[in-house]
Amino acid sequence: MQKTAAAIHDFSGFGKCSLTVILPVLSAAGIACSAAPTAILSSHTGGLPNVYVQDFTEGLHGFTRQWTELPLSFDAIYTGYMSSPEQVEACAELTDVLRKPGTLFVADPALGDNGSLYSGVNKATASAMARFCCRADLILPNLTEAALLLGEKPNLSPTRAEVEELLQKLAALGPRRVAITGVSFSPRKIGAACYDALSHETAFAFAPCMEGHYHGTGDLFGAALLGGLLRGLQFREAMQAAVSFVSRCVWRTKQNGTDPRFGLDFEEELPFYLHALSIIV
């Protein structure tokens, strides 16, 4: 039977991130993905001017009312950016409706990067997001978000031992599994670290590090990781597939000369990702 997922993220009309990368990646992996937007933006906010933003908190309540009446069942729920404590509450309501025994609940905190909160995200929202993530099965913070969830000062260059400690602290909040992105112990490699609280296993996945800042990498990683898990890969295997896929997408974007503000040219690298999932040979 075909696997299904519900993605609760913001939607940017231009700039490849959030739902505009999550939906095609999961669809390519053979997963039927439904979407509920937390906000509608004319483009993402990373370096692009005059962005129109429409908050969709009330709309989420409408989605919840209708989806409650439908015989919906999802193998996974994947949540992302939320702009206020009220929106976090609305997303919690929707996930409560959708979550059934056996549903994999994946939460990307989407709070900040490079040591600070995103513009438009305040401390109250960060606190609400931390409580929300405690309920998830798997959380996907970057190094900044990992510290924010724990109420600590971000350390953007942690040692391997410090990363392992971060993973275990985050798992102690409630999630069985944690994957931290943006981990690097060498100028030449960057990737992610994961921890499974049941098996007590820690693993790392790395790929070549390329110069520049590219928007949407976290969303692409999360979608690719979830796709791997739903297609039956082990946690560390799915993480390596996701890290390698994102790395190749960065390389492809640089080769194409695409403005890094516009997101990653991931489409041409989908065959590589599907090969990693053993969907194509």
Question: What confidence tens digit (pLDDT) does each residue in 95-115 have?
Answer: 999 999 999 999 999 999 999
Show the CA angle centred on residue 81, arms to residues 110 and 10, nearest 5°: 140
pLDDT, one tens digit per residue, over 33-72 is: 999 999 999 999 888 899 999 999 999 999 999 999 999 9
Tell me the residue type at 138: L
Residue 166 belongs to a domain: yes
Residue 281 belongs to a domain: no
CB under 8 A, 24+ apart: contacts of 125-129: 125/82, 125/83, 125/84, 125/85, 125/87, 125/88, 127/85, 128/82, 128/85, 128/88, 128/89, 129/82, 129/88
Structure tokens at 125: 């929202």
Q: How many domains does the chain have?
A: 1
Parent domain of 190: 4-276
- Is the entire prediction scored with pTM above 0.75? yes
At residue 149, the pLDDT reads 97
pLDDT, one tens digit per residue, over 238-260 is: 999 999 999 999 999 999 999 99
At residue 237, the pLDDT reads 97
pLDDT, one tens digit per residue, over 122-168 is: 999 999 999 999 999 999 999 999 999 999 999 999 999 999 999 99
Q: Which residues contact 1 (CB under 8 A, 6 or more apart)?
A: none
Q: Write the CATH number for 145.
A: 3.40.1190.20
At residue 212, the pLDDT reads 84
At residue 119, the pLDDT reads 80
Q: Could you give the CA distance from residue 139 to residue 133 in angstroms, rounded to a whole number?
A: 7
At residue 98, the pLDDT reads 96
Q: Is the pLDDT of residue 267 over 80?
A: yes
Closest CA to 145 of 168, 117, 179: 117
Burial class of residue 146, CB neighbours in 10 A (0-12, 13-18, 19+): buried
Q: Could you give the CA distance from residue 242 to residue 233 in angstroms, rounded to a whole number?
A: 11
DSSP states along 57-90:
HHHHHHHHHHHHHS----SEEEE----SHHHHHH
Residue 73 belongs to a domain: yes
Residue 250 belongs to a domain: yes
Q: Is the pLDDT of residue 281 over 90?
A: no
